[in-house]
Chains A and B, each alone.
Chain A
């Protein structure tokens, strides 16, 4: 009963490098989300998906791409990392209605130098 698993947990990138963050959920949830959280701030939505093969932009999508090829996985890509993307990234999943709340992963701490 893993819930939402994020990999990796920590990563240091050089400016201009690319990487992919993986989010996997085993709860058969339809909805999945990627958030970022900067020091002293609340979470901001980057991209989300309401089902396999669908994605949509959130509040701060620039510099990121996402894919949902399988229902259980939601990938967040950084094509050319910038220091402004240094943040903690959280993935969440949920059922088709908010009545059950979202389940969050434990986060990926990314530093871009």
Chain B
């Protein structure tokens, strides 16, 4: 799996957009970028994933650079409930992806009131 690099912590004001960066310069052509988050003491929650096109769902948007070496998760209007550790994971989507996800230390996003 491609290694990812994330800042250990970030702050964001409530109501503003939270932009979480992730570097994955060794990503392979068949690897997707996945984002999960873990709210304190809870199990991780899947947010979004993408291959090369930008993606949006009800939770967030994912922007992947054209060279696919980095990406940004955007929470458009952050609330206090978005305070969590956010994990960026790069992984193949099928076949070889059966043996689980590798979680790093992620980014601890703190939403300030």
Contact = CB atoms under 8 A, between A and B. Distances in A.
A107 B41 contact: yes
A48 B98 contact: yes
B105 A42 contact: yes
Interface residues of A, number: 28
A50 B98 contact: yes
Interface stretch (B19-27, B44-52, B64-72): B44-52
Interface stretch (B10-18, B74-82, B88-96): B88-96
Interface stretch (A14-22, A66-74, A98-106): A98-106
Given A97-B93, A98-B34, A33 B45 contact: no
Nearest to A4: B43
Nearest to A45: B100
Given A96-B94, A98-B97, A41 B105 contact: yes
A90 B43 contact: yes
A77 interface: no
B93 A33 contact: no
Interface string B96-111: 0111111111100000
Interface centre among B45, B46, B106 (most CB of A within 10 A): B46
Which 6 pairs, one residue from A and one from B, show the smallest C-beta to C-beta distance? A104-B43, A101-B46, A42-B103, A97-B94, A43-B103, A45-B100
8 contacts: A43-B44, A45-B99, A45-B100, A45-B101, A58-B99, A90-B43, A98-B94, A101-B36
